[in-house]
Structure 1
Amino acid sequence: MAGVSLQCGDCGALLKSVEEAQEHAELTSHSNFAESTEPVLNLVCTTCSKPCRSKTESDLHTKRTGHTEFVDKTSETAKPISLEVPKGGSESQEGGTSDQNEELVVPEVDKKLLEELESMGFSTARATRALHFSGNASLEAAVTWIENHENTPDIDEMPLVPAVSKAQASKPSLTPEETNAILKELREKARKKKEEEEKRMEREREKERIRVGKELLEAKRIEEDNERKRLLALRKAEKDEERRAREKIRQKLEEDKAERRRKLGLPAEDPSTVKPSTVVEEKKSFLPIRPATKTEQMRECLRSLKQNHKEDDARVKKAFQTLLTYVGNVARNPNEEKFRKIRLSNAAFQERVGALKGGIEFLEICGFEKIDGGEVLFLPRDKVDIAVLNSAGSELDSAIKNPFFGVL
C-alpha cells in the first residue's frame, strides 16, 4: 500500500506532505522521517466545522468549547503522498534565475489570529512570526511558540519567505468560544503567578520581621542583664558600707561600756572571754597585709572629707555631687579635653570642692595631675581609666545615698 503520510521518528507526529515535514523539522530540529501508511486524521466538529488532526486536538477543542460531536473524514482526505521535494523556483538551462535571487515577502497568516495576538499586546512582527512558524494552527500554539522563543534575537523582526511560499491555504481560525477560553486560561495563569509571587514576598517580609524582632529582644536582654549587674554591684557596696558602719558602732559601744565600768569602779570584763571578732582579728593579724586598692583609697578619702566637715552635711553632699559630675563627664566623653581639665582658681570649684579637705585628693586618685605650677588639674587622655572612673562614680553614689557613710 502506498504511503499516505510522513511520520516523525523522533516524536511520532503524522504529516500530510513534504512541506509540512520541512516546517516540522524547522520548528523542532527533528530530522528522522519515514513514509507511513497511517493517514492523518481529519475529525471535523459538527457544531463549528473545525477540523482536528488528532485525538488530542479534538479533546482540546472539546475542553475549550464543549463541542463533543465529530465526523471522521479521514478516508475522504487521505491521498498518496508525494516524496518529491518542492523547488523554490525554476532554473533555465542557460543560466536562469537562482534561489538566491528569489523575491522574499512577508508570509500570509490568519488575519483573525493576528488581530487577537495584537490585542493581547504582542507586536505585529512577533505575532506574524509566531503564527507562521506554528503553522497558523491556533492562538494557543502561537502563544506557546512566543514563550519558547522569547529570547531569540530576531523575534521582533518580520519574517520573510520566498514569493512562491506566500500562497498557502489559511488554516481555520478559532471560534469565539475557543478564543475566550484561551484568554481566560492565560489570565488565570497570570493571576496565579502573581498570587504566588505575592505569597513569596510576604514570606520574605515575615522572615525579616522575625529576624529584626529577635535582634531587638536580644539587645534588650543584654541591656537588662547589664543593668541588673550594675544594681547588684551597687547593693553589695552599700551592704559592705553598712556592715563596716555597724561594726564601728559596735566597737564604740564596747569602748563606752568599758569606760562606764571603769568610772563606776567595776572590774573589767574577764579577759579570758575571747569574742569571735577578736579571734578573727588575731587570726587576721598573721595574714600578710595587702596594699589598699584605688577603690578603698577613694572610699577612705570620701570618709575623711565627711568626717572633717561633719558639721555641714549640705556642703559635703554638694561636694560629692560636684565630684560625681566631674567623674561622669570624663567617663562619658573621654576625648573631650574640657572635661579633663579643671582650673583650681575657679571660684565655683573652690567653693564646692577645693576648699574642702580631701576633694582635690579624690580627683588625684582618679588620675588627675597638677600642671602649670599647680594651678590646673589635668587628666591626660592616655591615663583615662574607665574602670577607675566607674568605681569612683559608684563610691560617690554610695556616699550620697548611704545614711551610714562616714558616721564614725
Structure 2
Amino acid sequence: MAGVSLKCGDCGALLKSVEEAQEHAELTSHSNFAESTEAVLNLICTACGKPCRSKTESDLHTKRTGHTEFVDKTSESAKPISLEVPKAAVESDEQVDASTSSQSEEMIVPEVDKKLLEELELMGFSTARATRALHYSGNASVEAAVNWVVEHENDPDIDQMPLVPANTKVEAPKPTLTPEEVKLKAQELRERARKKKEEEEKKKEREREKERIRIGKELLEAKRIEEENERKRLLALRKAEKEEEQRAREKIRQKLEEDKAERRRRLGLPPEDPAAATPSAPVVQEKKSSLPVRPATKAEQMRECLRSLKQNHKEDDAKLKRAFQTLLTYIGNVAKNPNEEKFRKIRVTNPSFQERVGALKGGIEFLELCGFEKIEGGEFLFLARDKVDVAVLNSAGSELDSAIKNPFFGVL
C-alpha cells in the first residue's frame, strides 16, 4: 500500500506532506522521518466545522468547547504522499544552505511582552511555557496565550524555551486592547481563577462534610449494634439464671423425695404411693399460700422491689418512670466505671435524689439490694469497691429496663 503520510520517528507525529515535515523539523529539530500507510486524521466538528488532525486535538476541542460530535473525512482527504520536493522549495533550500554555509545564524530567545509574561507567571505558568505561548500567539493578550497553551499542552516541547534566528526582525505586535482594557482583562482572569479556587474549596468542604456524616452514621450504627448485643446478652443471662434456678429447685425436690423415701425405709414403712400423695399437694400449697414467700435469688428480690414500688406509686406514671431511669443511670455509671468513687457514693439528702428516688418507697431499698450501704448516719449511700458485683449490677439493669419498657410489669 502506498504511503499517505510521513511519521516522525522521534515524537510519532503524522504529517501530510514533505513541507509539513520540513516545518516540523525546523520547530522541533527532529530529523527521523519515515513513510507511513497511516493517514492523518481529518475529524470535522459538526457544531463549528473545525478540523482536527488527531484524537488528541478532538479531545482538546471537546474539553474547550463542549462539542462532542465529529465527522471522519479522513478517507476523502487521504492521498498518496509525494516525496518529491517542489522546485521552488529546492531552490529555497539551496539558497538557505548557501547562506548557512557562508554564515551560521545565531539562535536567540524571542522577545515577548514583559507585562504579559509576568501575568502568565503569576497565574502559575513556567517562564518557558509562557514565553512560547506569547511568541506563537503573537503577543496578543493573556487570554490568547492561555488558549494556545490549552491547545498545545500535549506538545513534547511545550516546556522548552523557543529559539529564533538572531537576525530575524520581530515586529512589535499592534496592541489590540488599550492599557485599561488589558488591566480589566487581567483582573477578569484573576477573578475567574479566584472563583474557580473558591468553588474547588467548597466542593472539598462538601466532600469532607459528607465524610463526617458517613462516619457519624457508622458510629451510631456501631453503638446501636453494641447496645442490641448487650440487651441480648442480658436476656440470655436472665434466661440462664432462671434455668439454673429451676434445676436447683428440681435437685432439692429430688433430694427431699430421696430423704423421705430413705426415712420410710428405715422405719419399715412401705414406699409412699405417688397417686395417693398427689391429693395432699394442693392442701399443702394452699396452706403455704397464706404466708409471704421471700424471693430466692437476688434478681427476684430486685424484681419484687420494683413491682412493689410500681404498685405503691401507680397513680403517677411519669414520676415512676423517671425514678426507674434515675436508678438505671446510677447502676450503669457504677457498672461502667467501678473504680470511680463519685459514682459509688450518693448523698441521700440531695434534693434532686430525694425528688426522683428517695421520696419513693422502695427506691433506696433497691439500691441496697445492688450493694449500696448507708454510712455516716444514713447521710450517704456507699458501694465499696470490693463489693461491686458486675453480675448483680447487670441483673439490676435488666430488671430496670424491663420495668421501663414492659407496660405489664407489676400488673400480672
TM-score normalized with structure 1 length: 0.38
TM-score normalised by length of structure 2:
0.37
**In terms of Rg, which structure is larger?**
1
